[in-house]
A and B are shown apart, each in its own frame.
Chain A
Amino acid sequence: MRTTSLCVLCVLLAMVCWVETMTAVDKTNHFRSTIKQAMELTKKVKQNDTFLSSPTNDIEDCCAQSALQCFSSQLLKIPTTYKTLLRKLNKNLSKSVIVESVGNCSRKERAKVICKSCDSYPMVDNKEFLKNLLSFLQKAFSRLP
């Protein structure tokens, strides 16, 4: 009976370790593919007169997820022929893997901070917007362990 319990515990532990490892690998891979999509879009999209609210580098502490939401909400407004790529990127930005990775504060800390609304960020053209988004994602990826 004792041996059986020990075996079951070992199996459960192994499963948990495997899931954690796979999650970490998936997180990294997912981030990479999102960055790759943002880079591709930055290269392909032509500069035009469309202006969008874009968080810049001076994002307050614990407001990274709010900034990400702002990026995500503005992204689909970009006029481009690469709609499929645009939609894929937008979908990835809303996934929990990305949302949890960009933030470096706990829920309690985030609740205490008042972040800027999306409209209050400076307006930039579509090219500048995508560069800011790319920089934002690269910074978040660099922070990953």
Chain B
Amino acid sequence: MRLMFCLFLFWTCPGSESKIPTNIRCLIINLEYVNCTWDEEGILQENYTFRSRFEKHAEKECPTYLKANNVNVGCILPYSEKDMQRFEILHACVFRHDGSVVIDYHHKMTNMVKLDPPYNLTVKFRDPELWLYWNTSSRAKSSCKESQVRYRTNGKEWRTQHMNIERNSFNVPYPSNRSMYEFQVRVRMSSNCGQSKIWSEWSNLLGWSSQKNTNDTVTLATSMAMMTMYLAGAAVLLITLSCLLMHSERLRVILVPVVPSPKNLGDLIERYDGNVENWLCISKELQDGFKPNFTERPCPVREYRLVSQASTQGSDSVLSSPTLAPDYQLMHSYSASTLPVSRETTQAPPPATTRTGQ
């Protein structure tokens, strides 16, 4: 009974029995090497050996083991794309330490290629389309690769687009100005060269938002700053003008003239004897300031009148010549100045003289 109970425990307890691998999984990584593993079922406790060969080659033991807890769990095999080894069948076996076969594997590797993810994602906005570009590993030629793009707006669900072979670009027509876009790309071998069942890992995430949004934000900030500057300037100007007004009487009188109250107009006229300047209470200095303190010399201006030749007989002047213009007679002589004329200027002007040609 006790023995049965122990056997039952031994059978049900998961950690007590050594796991035996039942499957080998091999992938060609980026057309550089082959990665085979046999620890899918769980942690292995026994050390196994691995031997393999491609169709046209001799069988060899694994050159580089992958280990976990000091136990062989996988193998890295060399691969040659030049020999097109992926079109050959890979024969592989996992052996126990006593040489017995645990698993054997015979698989054509054409569809078992996993490429490295795309890199160097860039986005360019060419009105009215948003273009995404990327690079892929150069191990496989471009006509042998096909890409898949997925993108989402504002963190919503992903939308997937399958790209044609050889294309390393994708576009979103008329992208929204108010949305945030996120892009990812992955790649695999295309049907032209033996389509792979396995896609690469997704590339790094690339985000993009409208340039116009960014510009609007910048413009608004700039406007606010300018507005603040204008207000500050206006306040400073106001304060400055206020100070000037308080200290400069002349400026105050000009800008803010005193307007007498018309209530007691009659009394004002009697008191100041009609002198308006006294009403305004302008200081004497300011009054004198408006009076001119210079004199202007008057410029005499004479007016001439046309006189006929008959009135100038016997004259030797050139003017008697029939070719010359008729003589002029002084009409008036007056000063052009509007200021009070001094005694000098009021004297009679000298008689008009004409030059005679001799």
A interface residues (Cβ-Cβ under 8 A, vs B): 28, 31-32, 35-36, 39, 57-58, 135, 138-139, 141-143
Contact = CB atoms under 8 A, between A and B. Distances in A.
Contacts of B89: 57
B191 A39 contact: yes
A25 to B, nearest CB: 11
Q: Which of B56, B108, B110 has the most CB of A within 10 A?
A: B110
Interface of B: 55-56, 84, 87-89, 108, 110, 141, 143-144, 191-194
A57 B91 CA distance: 14
B144 A142 contact: yes
A135 B141 CA distance: 17
A29 to B, nearest CB: 10
B192 A141 contact: yes
Contacts of A142: 84, 141, 144, 192-194
Nearest to B82: A143
Contact of B56 (A36, A58, A138, A139): A58
A66 B108 CA distance: 23
29 contacts: A28-B143, A31-B192, A32-B192, A35-B191, A36-B191, A39-B191, A57-B55, A57-B88, A57-B89, A57-B108, A58-B55, A58-B56, A135-B110, A135-B194, A138-B87, A138-B110, A138-B191, A138-B192, A138-B193, A138-B194, A139-B84, A139-B87, A141-B143, A141-B144, A141-B192, A141-B193, A142-B193, A142-B194, A143-B84
Given A57-B55, A58-B55, A35 B192 contact: yes
Q: Which of B56, B84, B192, B193 has the most CB of A within 10 A?
A: B192
B145 to A, nearest CB: 11
Q: Nearest 4 CB-CB pairs, A to B?
A: A142-B193, A138-B194, A139-B87, A141-B192
Nearest to B144: A142
B87 to A, nearest CB: 5
A89 to B, nearest CB: 15
A85 B59 CA distance: 42
Contacts of A28: 143
Contacts of B141: 142
A29 B110 CA distance: 22
A72 to B, nearest CB: 20
A142 B86 CA distance: 11
A57 B143 contact: no
Given A135-B110, A138-B110, A142-B144, A57 B87 contact: yes
Contacts of A143: 84
Contacts of B55: 57-58
Contacts of B87: 57, 135, 138-139
Contacts of A36: 191
Q: Which of A31, A39, A141, A142 has the most CB of B within 10 A?
A: A142
Given A35-B192, A142-B194, 10 more contacts: A28-B143, A32-B143, A57-B55, A57-B87, A57-B89, A57-B108, A135-B194, A138-B87, A138-B110, A142-B193
A142 B89 CA distance: 17
A58 B144 CA distance: 23
